[in-house]
């Protein structure tokens, strides 16, 4: 019975998405993803280099990177933090970066006792200090908890940077530095964000430690 249901589902999907159509979807998705990165590079490359300079200066002076976002952007935050703390392409000393998205007890206690909108704000208050960088990630640029955390970080004297998409939303004018992927398609914005995050790691590493790569 289960096998029959799976086979019927396969037939249904095959009829809706024949092989030619699936290949078209793949080609169009690839084209859109590349275009999002190319558009960012054409309009925002200097801003990325500014963020690299900020991050290098921050880490040379004993500061840290505080990274936060929701959903896929939360995954990006911990991905990026792991690459700074552990390694990216070269073996070097650990670099100080903290994802504010990973401690379930902190997140749920703040969400339960106060508001989900405060889950990053309170961590910025706890861990942030002048000389640190607060890096918020929001594809829409309008996530309330990211907005509140960025506003608080600015008030505390942290440098603030954001990765956004589309028009940049409210974050574009709130942060000191907004790196915006000018695409209206959320998956392509997220794909470009990961590419930007990898570039940030690579360029910071090479500035601080040179260009020696893994075998």
Element at 99 (helix H, strand E)? strand 97-99
Which residues lie below 8 Å from residue 183, measured CB to CB, with a gap of 6+?
32, 35, 36, 39, 165, 166, 189, 192
Question: Where residue 211 falls among pLDDT bands split at 50, 70, 90?
Answer: confident
Q: Please tell me the predicted confidence (pLDDT) of residue 18.
A: 63
Q: At what angle do helices 186-209 and 72-85 cross, to 10 degrees?
A: 10
Query: 202 and 89 in contact (C-beta within 8 Å)?
Result: yes
- Give the pair of three-digit tokens for residue 114: 């106060």
Please write the tens of the pLDDT for every residue from 62-97.
999 999 999 999 999 999 999 999 999 999 999 999
Please write the tens of the pLDDT for every residue from 158-197.
999 999 999 999 999 999 999 999 999 999 999 999 999 9
- Give the pair of three-digit tokens for residue 142: 């309008």
Q: Please tell me the predicted confidence (pLDDT) of residue 74.
A: 98
Please write the tens of the pLDDT for every residue from 2-57.
455 554 554 455 556 666 688 899 999 999 999 999 999 999 999 999 999 999 99
Report domain 2-209's class.
Answer: alpha beta
Listed by start position, the domains of the chain span: 2-209
Alpha-carbon distances, residue 74 vs 43, 60, 96, 157 (angstroms):
25, 26, 18, 24
Please write the tens of the pLDDT for every residue from 96-119.
999 999 999 999 999 999 999 999
Q: Whole-structure pTM over 0.75, yes or no?
A: yes
């Amino acid at each position: 019975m289960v096998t029959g249901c799976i086979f019927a589902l396969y037939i249904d999907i095959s009829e809706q998405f024949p092989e030619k159509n699936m290949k078209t979807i793949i080609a169009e998705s690839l084209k859109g993803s590349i275009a999002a990165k190319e558009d960012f590079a054409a309009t925002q490359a200097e801003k990325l280099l500014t963020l690299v300079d900020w991050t290098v200066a921050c880490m040379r002076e004993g500061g840290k990177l505080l990274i936060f976002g929701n959903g896929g952007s939360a995954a990006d935050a911990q991905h990026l933090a792991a690459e700074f703390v552990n390694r990216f392409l070269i073996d070097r000393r650990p670099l100080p970066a903290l994802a504010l998205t990973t401690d379930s007890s902190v997140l749920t206690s703040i969400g339960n006792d106060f508001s989900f909108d405060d889950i990053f704000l309170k961590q910025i208050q706890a861990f942030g200090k002048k000389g640190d960088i607060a890096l918020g990630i929001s594809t829409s640029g309008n996530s309330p908890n990211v907005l509140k955390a960025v506003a608080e970080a600015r008030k505390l004297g942290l440098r603030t940077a954001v990765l956004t998409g589309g028009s940049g939303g409210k974050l574009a004018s709130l942060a000191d530095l907004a790196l915006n992927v000018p695409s209206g398609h959320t998956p392509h914005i997220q794909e470009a964000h990961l590419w930007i995050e990898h570039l940030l790691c690579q360029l910071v590493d090479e500035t601080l430690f040179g260009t020696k790569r893994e075998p």
